[in-house]
Structure formats: structure tokens, C-alpha cells
Structure 1
Amino acid sequence: MGSTVAIVGGGYGGVALARQLDPDFDVVLIDPRDAFVHAVAALRGLVDADWAQRIYFGYEGLFTRGRHLRDRAVEVRAGGVATAGGAWIDADYVVLATGSSYPYPAKPDTEDTAESQIRHAGTRAELETSSKVLLLGAGPVGLELAGEITEQWPDTEVVVVDPAGDVLGGRYLPELRRSLREQLSARGVRLELGSALTAPPSVPPGIRAPFSVTTETGVRIDADLWFRCYGVVPLSDMLRGELAAARRPDGHVEVDEHLRVAGASNVFAVGDVTAVPEPKRSKAASDHAVVVAANIRALAAGRPAEQTYRPGSDAVLVPLGSTGGASQVPGPDGPVVLGAAETARYKGDDLLLGRFSELFDASAR
């Protein structure tokens, strides 16, 4: 088709879209990292040295004709993308797939694979010698990290603190929360819910050093290592011109039913950065990519955008190590809660790694 598609961001939505459009379009995937990071498995990589080597995939495996530009986008406009390195990419179609930032270790805090692996190894060494770990946040990340730590080091005490009255945010079933609480309790994880800390720990996160904190209800917690497990921030501050108005105060980007960014007919957004009212998951980003690929093909063929996106349900998979966890998935008569064995079968043992190994195997095409 000969049209250029600039995809800003090489996370789940960006790589899925690049793979789909690569045979027929000139795709430029703009991302400052040297490789795709399978963030779903990042916490397993934190505690397991073998997994730390397996969660990175070179972008070159996506393409037969497109390319990866290792650079950071600083301006995204309807006509193209400007990068920190001084490049300007003229594009017929632009897709914002920048995702969101999240505190380490749920997402790596470096753009270089080798540095990220070294960082994981250092944190793993700190965990190995820690006797008590504090996790701030009882959402999916905090619970999953508690599961990984207690599976790898069963004698390590883990305390999870959250001002919310129960685990997980969102509209999830009581049975899901109950299953997770019971499994965590069986692992010796202590949940301190319903009260925030009076002050953050006095030492940096991920650095082993004894400290004490107190909750607003007066509970004292002593630990020697802590992590922050909350704080999603959409990455959208590079929108310029007519696109800037689509950026909400919280950073999410308004899109229409075709996933087009408000203000331009040739600019789309996928994944966490969108304001689509649904849980921010890797599967949603991949589903967005299917819709956007179809709409770009339609536009390139001279037709209007036809494919629409319907927000997903409140589904979540929360593994607790390789054998535990609980999930909520859509069922024929409404949401269904799955237990440890089914969650492990869906996500726990493999953490969807096989799916991404196939996605990045350009030689198989």
C-alpha cells in the first residue's frame, strides 16, 4: 500500500499493531528501548534469574519490511513525529501506543536490556538477604509481587499495606478478593488494609536497610526492604497541535469508537494511554491493535474507518507465583472467578511467554 505508519511506543499495543501492518505498510516503530519488555513477567524476572533473561525481545524480530527507530518521541502531530534525536518522521498515519509508566520493579526503569538485567540481579540479591519486605499497594502488582517473593523465599515475611479496605481496586467480585486473601494468608503474607502510612519509609525503595513505619491507625511495621506497587501514569505529554486537546488532565487520551484521537482523522491511540473505560491490560492493548489495523487499512483503501471497539469487561488475572492466584473472566452468564489451578493454567506458569516468542519470530513468516 506504500503508506507510512508511525507507531509511537513499543509496548503490547504497539508491537501487535506493527506486526499486523508490516506486510503492507512502511511501519516505523519509535521507542527508546533496545527491546520489547514482556512486563507481564517482569516480577517473575525479579525473583528468578532465568526468567530475567527471557522477558526481552529484540524489535527486529517483528519486521520483514518495517523498522525500529530507537529514539524518544517529543512531538506527535497529525503529520508525523519529532524525536529527541532530531529526526522528523513524516507519516500518513500516526498511532500513539506509549502506554504508561509504573514504579520499578513492575516495569524496568532503564531503556537498555543489559542494564535492566543488572538492575534486576542487584534487587534480587537484596531480596535474598531480606527477612521482611513491605509492599505499598494491594492492587494486582502488589499481590503478584507478594506471591512471587513468598514462592521463591517462603521464610521471608511480606507485609502489604493499602489505605483501601480490601485487596484490588475495580469492580471485582467478592469471591475473587476472598480467594486472594486466603491464599496470601496461607503463604504467611500479612495484609494491613484500611489505613495509609503516616510517612513513607526513610530509605529508598529496593535498597536493603532496616526501617520502621507506622500506619494512621497506629500499627508499627519493621522491615528491611520495600517497594511501591501503585502509581500508573499515562505517557501522553508529547501530543502537540490539534492533538493536545485530546489529552485529559489525568494524562489519558480521548478516542472515538474507532480509537481515533479526537482532532485528527489519521491519528489513533491504543493501550494504557487511552481513556477507554476498561481495565488496562496487555490483552486490551492487543485488541485495540486489531481494530486500528483494520481502520488504517480501510482508510488507505479509500474507505472510512469501519471497525469499532467495545470496552472490555472487568477481567483480571492475578497469579501468586507459578501455582497460585485467582482470576475474574467473562462467562456466558456474567463474570466468573477462577481459582489457583485455572489461573496458573492461563497465566501462572508460562506468563504468556510463548505467545510473545511467536510474535517476535520474524523468521517463521
Structure 2
Amino acid sequence: MGVSSSSPPEGVHVVIVGGGFGGTAAALQLKSRGLKFTLIDVRDAFHHNVAALRAAVTPGFARQTFIPYAETFGDSFVQGRVDRVDTERQVVVLQGGREVQYSHLVLSTGTAGPFPGKLGGEESYRGAVAAYENLVLQVQAAGSVLVVGGGSTGAEMAAEIKTRYPDKKVVLVHSRTELADPELQPSVRQQVKEVLLEKGVELVLGQKVTNLPELHLNVTHKDQRVRTDQDQVLTVDLVISCTGLRVNADAYRAHMAGSVAEGGALKVDAHLQVVGVSNVFAVGDCNDVAEPKTAYAAELHAAVAVANIANAAAGRPLTEYRPGNATLLLALGPDDGVGQFSGWRLPRFLVVLGKSRDLLLWKSWRELGQTRP
């Protein structure tokens, strides 16, 4: 009896480590293809962290940025922290000893960094919501706020605060003279600077904060003294750090040392297979594809990885992932934004419509099949 091409291949069980944009997109695609999978994440809800900075300044908003996994994925979701990946035995070992067997593995462990841009150790989304709501109170209590770091996260953070609370003094300190991602066109980076100045953000560029470890971050503490390497002293009530992203490599660094690039990302080939282990794929921020690390790119990676798992199981040739011209949209408050799409600079009003107003929250709630609160 011939097997119909639509029936899922036998023996496929994909394990996805990390439920960010890439991991969740992979799980949704595996679900729609009828392939067996297990999504593992340390938290109990998907964090739409594209909206994390607005959640730090807008009361009541944080709840909308967390979408519980179990309601969408049921028993295919496991909450746990991965201790290690054993590629010989093809198991993922969780802290506490539980083992999950896989035929194919998708690693989407993402990056870590300071709160509020990234979420720390909060394992329940209710605890995470409380952390954001607490930061809202700190921002409200502060007369002046200093943001450290003027990459895309720092620029967006400063804009969110100044838009919501125009009377507050907001200072952005950045070690370089240009803001936002180096992958953005110079004219778009210049626009970021113009928008922040229009909003009244004070820019201290080409200077590095030298006493960051001594400062109280995310807590309003009157008259904190922030020092720079140009001997400038800035006195503010609240300091928020938006620097120092690093790849979350703990799950795989030990067992897959030969496949890890400098900085902790996994080396991948054109099919997004981890170099040296053909049944392991890496998507999103934890692979070494040379392109801006965005939610948009992570979802594109997930589509290629899942297609290739299905292709490999069916004996078909694999598809390649080709990075295009950088697509990046920066929301600079709900009312402004800059960006480029496939190398073309976009008009600011289009970025507002496409991203800034709602930060694509509607998209995540719809894709996960749940009703936004």
C-alpha cells in the first residue's frame, strides 16, 4: 500500500529548545504539518519582547506581551531549563534529569541581556508582568532617566520614555557617535538621531559610562552620579541599561564545542544545519548567519529549518536560506519610527503604521490562536 505524501513521516520527533520568535514559529509550522514536536522553554509563556520597552513605561501593557504556551501547544510544550544537549544519544537533558528524545533538534536559545529589553530569570509570566509593572512605577517616580547604550534597544527605550512622559529629562549615553544598528543605512541611522532630538532626548555620544557596576539599575534613586570616560558627570534619578547582549549558549556549549563560533553562536551551513551535526538546526539569534538579529529573521529561519526537517525525512533535497538586504524597523514611541525594507528607506509614517503603533502584538496573538486580553 502506497503511503500518501500528506501523511507525516514515521519516527520524526522534533525537539525545539527556546520559545522565542524562532522557536515558536518552528513549533507552529510543525504543528500545521502534523509533525510530532516538543517545545521546551524555561518560561510558561511566549514573550513578545518586541514590545518589552513599551511594557516598561505604559501601565497595564505588560500583560499583553505574554502569551501562555500550553494553551496553544498543549502537551507538546514542556516548561524546563535545559541542562545539556547530548548529540550522541539524541536527547535533551533538563535540569532535574528529565530526558527528551529527538530525531531532529532546533536550537533557538536567543540572546540574554539586561532587563527590560530582555527578561531575566522570571519563570512565570505573572512574575515577569509584575517586574515590568514595577519598572513603570520607577519611571513614573523619576524626574530624570538616563539610558545607557544607543543601539536599537537604547534608542527605542529613550523614545518610549520621552513620548509617554514628555516632561521628564531623558538622556541617552552611547559609546559610538552613530545610533542604532550598524547594518542600517547611514541615512536611517541619522533619522534615529533626528527623531530623538525632535522629541527632546539629550544625546551624549562618543562617551562610555565607566561606573555602571556601581549604579542602581531600574530603581529610582535620586541624584545618582553617572560618570563617562570623558570625565563628564551626569546626575539622574533612574538608570536603565540597554547594552551587552550575549548569546544564550549554556544549553549546547559543552557538548557541541566544535560547532560554536566565537561569541557563542552556532556555526550553520546554508540549510541552517549546525556544522558537524546534520539533524540539528539553529535559528534566530543563536546562529552565526551574518545579518541583523531580528524577530523577522528568526521566523524566516524557522520556516527553512522546518521545511528541511520535512525534506530530510522524505528524502528530498534541502532548501537554502539566503539572507536578503537588511530589513529593520525601529519603533521610536507609538507615534514615530524609522526603518528600511530590503535595503529601501521607509517613510516614517509607514513604520508607524507597520510597527510602532501596535508593535506587531496582534500578529503573535493571532498566530498563537489566542484572544488578546
The TM tier, using the shorter chain, reads: over 0.9
Mapping for residues 246-261 of structure 1, pairs under 5 Å? 246-261=259-274
Q: Which amino acid aligns with 2:349?
A: A
Q: Is the 8 A contact 1:41 1:55 kept in 2?
A: yes
Specify whether residues 169 and 227 from structure 1 end up closer, same or farther in structure 2 by C-alpha distance, changes over 3 A only: same
Amino acid at match of 1:57: I
Q: Which amino acid aligns with 2:265?
A: H
The letter of the residue matching 1:276 is V
* Shift, 1:124, TM fit: 0.8
| Pairing 1:191-270 to 2, within 5 Å after superposition | 191-200=203-212, 202-209=214-221, 210-239=223-252, 243-270=256-283
Q: Is residue 9 of structure 1 aligned with residue 18 of structure 2?
A: yes
Instruction: In structure 2, list runs of 5 or more residues that go unmatched.
Output: 1-7
TM-score, reference length from structure 1 = 0.93
Contact 2:84–2:255 (CA under 8 A) maintained in structure 1: no
Question: 2:60 matched to 1:47?
Answer: no
Following superposition, the deviation at residue 63 of structure 1 comes to 2.9
Go from structure 1 to structure 2 and tell me whether the alpha carbon gap of 1:175 and 1:309 turns closer, same or farther (over 3 Å shift). Answer: same
Task: Count residues in correspondence.
Answer: 357
Indicate if the aligned counterparts of 2:272 and 2:305 stay in contact, CA closer than 8 A: yes
- Taking a change above 3 Å as real, the CA distance of residues 129 and 276 of structure 1, as seen in their structure-2 partners, is same
User: Which of these residues, 32, 46, 52, is aligned with residue 36 of structure 1?
Assistant: 46
Find 2:354's aligned residue among 334, 346, 349.
346
Is 1:106 aligned with 2:113?
Answer: no
In the aligned structure 1, how far is the partner of 2:187 from the partner of 2:77? 44
For 2:340, the equivalent position in structure 1 comes to 328
Counterparts of 1:13-92 in structure 2 under 5 Å? 13-22=22-31, 23-63=33-73, 67-78=76-87, 79-92=90-103
Q: 1:12 corresponds to which letter in structure 2?
A: F
| Match among 75, 84, 94 for residue 105 of structure 2 | 94
- Name the amino acid aligned to 1:339: P
| 1:173 maps to 2:182 | no
Report deviation, 1:172. Answer: 2.4
Q: Deviations over 1:61-86 (max 9, x none)?
A: 4337x611100111113312000021
Name 2:4's counterpart in structure 1. none
Change beyond 3 A, Cα 1:220–1:242: closer
The offset of 1:44, in angstroms, is: 1.0
Offset at residue 180 of structure 1 (A): 1.6
> What is the rounded CA distance, in whole Å, between the counterparts of 1:185 and 1:241 in structure 2?
46
SS at match of 1:49: coil
SS in structure 2 opposite 1:266?
Answer: strand
Structure 1: 4+ residue segments shifted above 4 A:
none
SS of the residue 2:321 aligns to: coil
Distance 1:242 1:53 in 2: 37
User: Which among 311, 322, 344 is matched to residue 298 of structure 1?
Assistant: 311
Separation in 1 of the partners of 2:253 and 2:286?
A: 15
List per-residue Cα deviations over 1:80-112 (Å, max 9, x = no partner): 200002111111111101111121001222121
1:126 and 2:146 aligned: no
**Kept after mapping to 2: 8 A contact 1:291/1:307:** yes
Native 8 Å contact 1:323 1:340 kept in 2: no
**Structure 1 pair 84–201 and aligned structure 2 pair: CA distance change class (3 A):** closer
Q: Helix, strand or coil: the match of 1:192?
A: strand
Counterpart CA distance in 1 for 2:175 and 2:110 is 26
1:138-177 to 2 correspondences below 5 Å: 138-177=150-189
Deviations 1:102-161 (Å, cap 9, x if unpaired)? 210012221211111111111111110101111110111011011110111110111111
Cα distance, 1:240 vs. partner?
6.3
Q: Distance in 1 between matches of 2:231 and 2:256?
A: 48
Identity of aligned residues (%): 34
Offset, 1:308? 0.5
- TM-score normalized by the length of structure 2: 0.92
CA contact (8 A) 1:74 1:238 kept: yes
Describe the superposition over 1:275-331 as per-residue Cα deviations: whole angstroms up to 9, x where unpaired. Answer: 000000001000001101110001111334x1100123233211111111211221x
Give distance in 2, aligned partners of 1:45 and 1:362: 20
C-alpha distance in 2 between matches for 1:190 and 1:201: 23
SS at match of 1:230: coil
